[in-house]
Structure 1
Amino acid sequence: MGRKILVIEDEADIVTLLKHYFLQEHFEVTTTGNGLEGLSLARTLHPDLIVLDLMLPGLDGLSINRSLKKDPLTAGIPVVILTAKSDETDRIVGLELGADDYIVKPFNPKELLARIKAILRRTEQEPAQRPERFSAAGVVLDIARHEARAGDTLLDLTAKEFSLLLALVKNSGRVLDRQMLLDLVWGADYEGTDRTVDVHIRRLRKKLGAYQDRVQTVKQIGYKFMDREDF
């Protein structure tokens, strides 16, 4: 797969247009029209670049950008703000908060693509340090070694189980619904059902042994990994 692009945009026509151009360049594209979900996806996926609208339901784009730049895990992700707001003040605020570019709608998709490629080339030349280990409540995942431990026990996980546990641990304390887990672990084009997540959660809990209660079911929504503070 190519570079990962996260599009946080609630206008369906623009999302379709962006996906068309990005997929032609072999980018891996994830989209959401909700600000809160977009912030969660940014922390989970750690994409190579984020295209961010300002006017969003759930959480506005400037607040998302501010949160991303304050978090050491996401501060290095390039952000391109895409918005209908052309006011100079909004542009200045966005760039001062650390956005890498600011493009006003309506826009030329080829120009947008050219700017994104330029930003990605720059980040390739100066790669950001990304965490290789994630841990919560006694469970540790080593990305480089593709190893997971619960306490002192090395877990024998499949690739999907490892990815599922990683998504939960990265977002410890936050509820992830089943569709989000399907998108993160199996990909947005996966045609399976929510049942797939439930089956893998059961298998994962068995392998976690004494740590299985860390993975909590949130009724009618999904799952969350309990923080250390929850015990």
Structure 2
Amino acid sequence: MGKKKHKVLVVDDEQDIVEILRYNLEKEGYEVKTANDGKKGLEIAKKFLPELVLMDIMMPVMDGVESCRQIRDIPEMKSAYIIFLTARAEEYSEVAAFDVGADDYIIKPIKPRALMSRINAHFRRELKNKENEEDIIKIGKFIIDRSSYTLHIEDLQVNLPKKEFELLYFLAESPNKVYGRDELLASIWGSDVYVLARTVDVHIRRVREKIGSQYIKTVKGVGYKFDMADQV
């Protein structure tokens, strides 16, 4: 039996971009589905359940932001990796992307070889994480299960997008240890991925909104830590 292919969904209204990405992804051995608008992408995501989604922001029928928001509401898609592809480089666009659960953000024009390297690195990190990390952290009121990407605070299950979950998991692994933004970027996003330091701040804010602001503390001029003082 052959090795199982990773599943990737490409959603973009520019057909030439879709075809270029399909060609390069299939050449790398990925199973690929495509769509030309956000609504169709959402319909395919519900059935195909891709592990990774490449999605344009500005599209007809349903834009990428709304499509991403609804994809994150699919239980089986909460751990999928979602990358926005866009010609818009404004900061508010990047923040909006992360606010609805995107994991990464790439400015067009796309360089296929660099993108394939980025995607391959992502799946290598996923494999390494599964091999090297403990599945469950139990700390105070929290049960953080990496095998199912679920978080329970006492009897309440809290849903977090993939990168928010991984950020919380990483901090909770070493409670009270302070991590700088650059260290968090390298550990969660990888050194081969170019994202700005504010990406960490946006994700920290989103995690705090869902679990309570008291658990992840800011150490001024240094970074962030998972605070055990509120876990007793």
TM-score (structure 2 length as normaliser): 0.52
Q: Which runs of 5+ in 1 are unaligned?
A: 131-231
- Name stretches of at least 5 consecutive residues in structure 2 with no aligned partner: 131-145, 150-232
Is 1:72 the counterpart of 2:75? The answer is yes
Deviation at residue 78 of structure 1 after TM alignment: 0.7
RMSD: 1.8
Question: Which of 8, 12, 16 pairs up with 1:13?
Answer: 16
Shift of 1:109: 1.2
CA displacement 1:119-152 (0-9 Å, x = unmatched):
222333347639xxxxxxxxxxxxxxxxxxxxxx
Report if aligned partners of 1:35, 1:58 keep a CA contact under 8 Å in 2.
yes
What per-residue deviation string (whole Å, max 9, x for no partner) do you get for residues 21-60 of structure 1?
1111011111110211110111111011110111112211
Deviations, residues 147-202 of structure 1 (Å, cap 9, x unaligned): xxxxxxxxxxxxxxxxxxxxxxxxxxxxxxxxxxxxxxxxxxxxxxxxxxxxxxxx
Aligned partner of 1:85 in structure 2 is: 88
Equivalences, count = 130
After superposing on structure 2, the runs of 4+ consecutive aligned residues of structure 1 that deviate more than 6 Å are: none
For 2:47 and 2:74, locate their aligned partners in 1 and report how far apart those are by CA, in whole Å.
12
Work out the CA distance in 1 between the residues paired with 2:45 and 2:98: 19
Q: Which amino acid aligns with 2:116?
A: L
Q: Decide whether aligned partners of structure 1 residues 90 and 25 sit closer, same or farther in structure 2, where only a CA change above 3 A counts.
A: same
Aligned equivalent of 1:106: 109
| Structure 2 counterpart of 1:61, one-letter code | G
Q: What is residue 98 of structure 2 aligned with on the other side?
A: 95
Q: Is the 8 A contact 1:82 1:102 kept in 2?
A: yes
Matches within 5 A, 1:77-226: 77-124=80-127, 125-126=129-130, 129=148
Counterpart residue identity of residue 74, structure 1: M
User: Which SS does the other structure have where 1:5 is aligned?
Assistant: strand
Whether the 8 Å CA contact 1:49–1:120 is kept in 2: the answer is: no
Q: Structure 2 counterpart of 1:11, which letter?
A: E
Name which of 4, 29, 32 aligns with 1:29.
Answer: 32
Counterpart of 2:125 in structure 1: which amino acid? R
Identity %: 35
The two structures have a TM-score, normalised by structure 1, of 0.52
